[in-house]
Amino acid sequence: MLFASMLIKLASQSSNTNIWLDILEFVVAFLSFFGFVLTSAIILILAERKIMAYMQDRVGPVHTGPWGLLQTVADVGKLLMKEDVHVGQADKTLFILAPSVFLGPVIAAFAVLPLSPYVGIPGTALATGIVYYVAMSSIDVVGVIMAGWSSNNKYSLIGGLRSAAQMISYELPLVLALVGVIMLTSILANSGLGTIAVRDIMTFQATSAYPGKGLGLFDFIFQGFTPWAWFFLQQPLMLIIYYICGLAETNRPPFDLPEAESELVAGYLTEYSGMRWGLFYLGEYGNMTIVSAIAAFLFLGGFSGPGVAFLTGLNNGGWGLLGNLLAVGYFVIKVYLLCFVFIWVRSTLPRLRADQLMQFAWLILIPVTLFNIVVTALIYLVMNALGSPNWLFQIVLGIVNFAMLVGFIYIVGRATTATTRRAQAPAIRAQRRASAAGQLPERAGAGVVGGGQK
């Protein structure tokens, strides 16, 4: 499907005005994206089970297909064939609608993401790229609340309300973390106008200056692929904060309170079964993909990689196609590397408590992101006043931001220990007072208790 999409794009480039070809291009691109989200979800589910199994000294699924590769396919097949169960007294309309409301925006959010220079819905040209993505990811919460409310179940209700609070709180630091990157684009653009289109932000991470310019091999590797200019080197703290917020947005551990198994059974999913449940599940993994994809575009240079820009720049059909395939490959590798961190985090960390979650967002993440915006602006103003070039500014910004990253880790560690120490203080004080009475007094007639020692 992806390949077909590329071919059509190629065709429409050569013959530029054909409305039917445009429509066909759109349909095929849309289908390929739809397929990408669902396939990616299925692959991620399997990957998660396998990777977590490896980390936990298990083998994971092995029986379905070679090495258990068909496990998720079999699971989806089972879910499709299950009876569609409704809860009595549930709000039926909302109950049925909720999974679609959850999954729809996830797929829609992909509209702003190009997969390669050729493959992309026309929406990739949308000037409001990031804002659109943020808007779409906020609509998810409506589906969760609908599910929680309509299930007529107290666990679901608590789960739905928790997720509402959580997703709305983490939206703010998520956007604020992206503001740093957008500021960078406006600084780097000589016109002074930045961009919030995903594709354009990616191009800002490729500098025209690279070693060995003009030599064939160096051109092939470094044209459009300059990892030292990627924004994660200049804003590493923002990448990490964006990633933390992404964890919270997708309800992944350690922020999976809405579906906290040990407390809320399954949260808003409790009453769902069959494919409706499956849609929520696919939506969650689709969300994971898109959070990782946005991070890849904004911080890790998108689909750029050795050979992409060079091959597509040759204006030759066959080489262009190869370049596009390479681009898709690099993009998928970057996305799945980030998804791997999701899985890694899940198998390592316990879950936060609801109030700690809120504290973390409002008292730590939002001030830090705001501080970063101020710092970025200040450094630019100072450097600009001194008349230094952009590359020097970028280096200074990177150094400052790495220092902030170290500080952030220190603050988080201190904040948690300080909170726990405060919580423990009365207990410890009481113990110190009572430590004189540490030993139980020997009772008379102790032989009766535990009489085995006679």
Partner 1 sequence: MVTKQPVGSGIPGASSDTSEGIKSQEMLLNMGPQHPSTHGVLRLVLTLEGETVTDCTPVIGYLHRGIEKILENRPIMGGIRYMDNADYLSPMLNETAYAGAVEQLMGLEPPRRAQYIRLLTNELQRIASHLVAIGTYGLDLGAFTPVLWAFRDREGILSLFEALGGSRFNVNYLRVGGVLHDFPAGWLKQCEAFLDQLEKNMMELDRLLTGNEIFESRTQGVGYIDQQQAIAYGLTGPILRASGVNWDLRVNRPYMAYREVAVNPQIRQEGDCFARYMVRMLEITESIRLCRIAIDKMPGGPIGTRTPIALRPPRGETYFALESSKGELGVYFISDGGEYPWRAKLRGPSFVNLQILPEMVRGHKMSDTVAILGSIDIVLGEVDR
Give me the residues that bind partner 1 (CB under 8 A), please. 52, 55-58, 154-155, 158, 253-254, 256-257, 260-263, 265, 346-356, 412-413, 416-417, 419-424, 426-428, 430-432, 434-435, 437-440, 446, 448-454
- Min dist CB 369 to partner 1, Å, is 20
Please name the residues in contact with 230: beta carbons below 8 A apart, sequence gap of 6 or more.
205, 299, 300, 301
- Min dist CB 145 to partner 1, Å, is 16
Please name the residues in contact with 406: beta carbons below 8 A apart, sequence gap of 6 or more.
none
- Min dist CB 430 to partner 1, Å, is 5
Q: Tell me how far CA of residue 31 lies from CA of 119, 342, 437, 447, in angstroms.
A: 11, 27, 73, 80
CB atoms within 10 A of CB 449: 7
- Min dist CB 415 to partner 1, Å, is 9
| 81 vs 434 by CB, closer to partner 1 | 434
Helix, strand, coil percentages for the chain (3-state, nearest 5): 75, 0, 25
CA 34 to chain CA centroid, Å, is 18
| 389 vs 438 by CB, closer to partner 1 | 438
**3-class DSSP assignment, residue 291:** helix
- Min dist CB 356 to partner 1, Å, is 6
- Determine the residue type at 222: F
| 29 vs 145 by CB, closer to partner 1 | 145
| 16 vs 439 by CB, closer to partner 1 | 439
Q: Is the dihedral of CA 176, 177, 178, 183 positive or negative?
A: positive
| 8 vs 158 by CB, closer to partner 1 | 158
For residue 433, count CB atoms less than 10 angstroms from its CB and return exposed for 0-12, middle for 13-18, buried for 19 or more.
exposed
d(CA 392, CA 413): 32
- Min dist CB 349 to partner 1, Å, is 6
d(CA 272, CA 146): 12
| 82 vs 346 by CB, closer to partner 1 | 346
Residue owning tokens 């020692």: 453
| 267 vs 320 by CB, closer to partner 1 | 267
- Min dist CB 19 to partner 1, Å, is 53
